[in-house]
Structure 1
């Protein structure tokens, strides 16, 4: 007898190690209201379990169990690596990066033998779902309102970078721009590695990749 999810692709990186990297990033946030928000999200057993299992997509990038966790940790670490400007608010940056795809825990399904999109995911989409969830959770966090909350929500709203790519607004803060660039880099680099792996033996260039062309697959 098999569990239905036994047939689903799984993250190639150990989930416990990724979770510890996420917890380490959470501990870097020192502003009380933001630290409390992250605690409300990631200390909740049900929410944590969903976050650890959810895919980041049903195709395109990180389309496997644990993909959301893998992608989120990578995006946050990349955003921090680019935050060399002392004017960047690292607490807002880390909070927004860790939560930027939170809505995917409701957008995607992974209970059957294939990854799928939920009805709620099709109706609302992960950006809006994430903003709804964060806004609801913020109501119970003292000091998390007004401008501070709006700056976090702006990261969620703008992380696709363009209205043409599905964001309702474009990045207008340093922190939002860094999260968008880290998100784009992580997804594109993932696609590049997939393309390299798909190249035929002896071929120096990959098959065509949408929006990216052919990828160098040589040594």
Structure 2
């Protein structure tokens, strides 16, 4: 029987399929009876699920990030779909097709890497060109870079999402630099291409997406600067002032202290990078929130934390 994906489920439908457990909570009803509060996922999205009257042996039979086969019914609660689970059985990882559960970019990864490399070839500054080549001629880096997600949930949170995001911002930067010739094009493009490389160390993405120990301890801004420093030290004569300005682009690209930047953008290129990066992330997140909102009777999404408001869908 072909897998039934979450994105296709409808109210009243009987579900008997395997899902990845993103969240598992054991709670109690008002009558002190235990039940399971779950968030189940596949590559098309996630859905809340409840298993009432959950015996202790069932609660202990699987854990978060495990695969389970459920049998249940899709219901609507507060205008949102959820599953009332009747049966649960754990499933071994070797019995599942991982590509059914981990979301991936729908775009051609090889074509995106090729386009990004073509943009890199337009960099004329010899030091910035050598720096980018040091990263993008390294097979192990390119494999991780082209596989990693750009985030755990808000934007481009799927395999290949980091590459897709970087390429989108690079395209914006090419157009932007043509409109503003006073911008140092090579510096802006280098900052764009390298601004999120620390996410290759920050995020873990074997099943669901999590932060690594390095990601939680230092974050991708610091990791990115360290990665750039390691490469730059191997390039003879790399100017220290150019390296510091590039560090500034990486460290300031979130734009505000409360958004995680230790410094605010202080050069035209840093200001441009922050806004181009933010534009791509925010437009993607808004589009995602609208397309994934399941209440077709409403013209508005639910409250979206990133925007601190509901979004108009029509």
Establish whether residue 149 from structure 1 lines up as the match of residue 243 from structure 2. yes
Equivalent residue number for residue 202 of structure 2: 107
Distance apart, 1:85 and its partner CA: 1.7
How far apart in 2 are the matches of 1:170 and 1:5? 40
Equivalent residue number for residue 65 of structure 1: 159
Correspondence list, 1:1-219, <5 A: 1=94, 4=98, 7-83=101-177, 84-111=179-206, 113-199=207-293, 200-201=295-296, 203-212=298-307, 213-218=309-314
Structure 1: tracts of 5 or more residues without a match: none
TM-score (norm. length: structure 2): 0.66
TM-score (norm. length: structure 1): 0.93
SS in 1 for 2:146: helix
Distance apart, 1:5 and its partner CA: 6.0
Q: Deviations over 1:130-172 (max 9, x none)?
A: 0011011100112323111111111100000011100010001
How far apart in 2 are the matches of 1:211 and 1:196? 13
Q: Deviations over 1:186-218 (max 9, x none)?
A: 110011111220343353322221142122211
| Bigger Rg, structure 1 or 2 | 2
How far apart in 2 are the matches of 1:149 and 1:117? 28
How far apart in 1 are the matches of 2:97 and 2:229? 35
Distance apart, 1:80 and its partner CA: 2.6
The structure where helix makes up a greater share of residues is: 1
Between 1 and 2, higher relative CO (CA 8 Å, sep ≥ 6) is seen in 1
Equivalent residue number for residue 89 of structure 2: none
How far apart in 2 are the matches of 1:119 and 1:81? 37
Structure 2: tracts of 5 or more residues without a match: 1-93
CA-based RMSD of the aligned residues comes to 1.5
How far apart in 2 are the matches of 1:123 and 1:11? 28
How far apart in 2 are the matches of 1:195 and 1:6? 22
Q: Deviations over 1:37-94 (max 9, x none)?
A: 0000011000010100011111111111001101111112222322322110100011
Structure 1 segments, 4+ long, off by >3 Å, are 1-6
Number of aligned positions between the proteins: 217
How far apart in 2 are the matches of 1:69 and 1:175? 21
Distance apart, 1:16 and its partner CA: 1.5
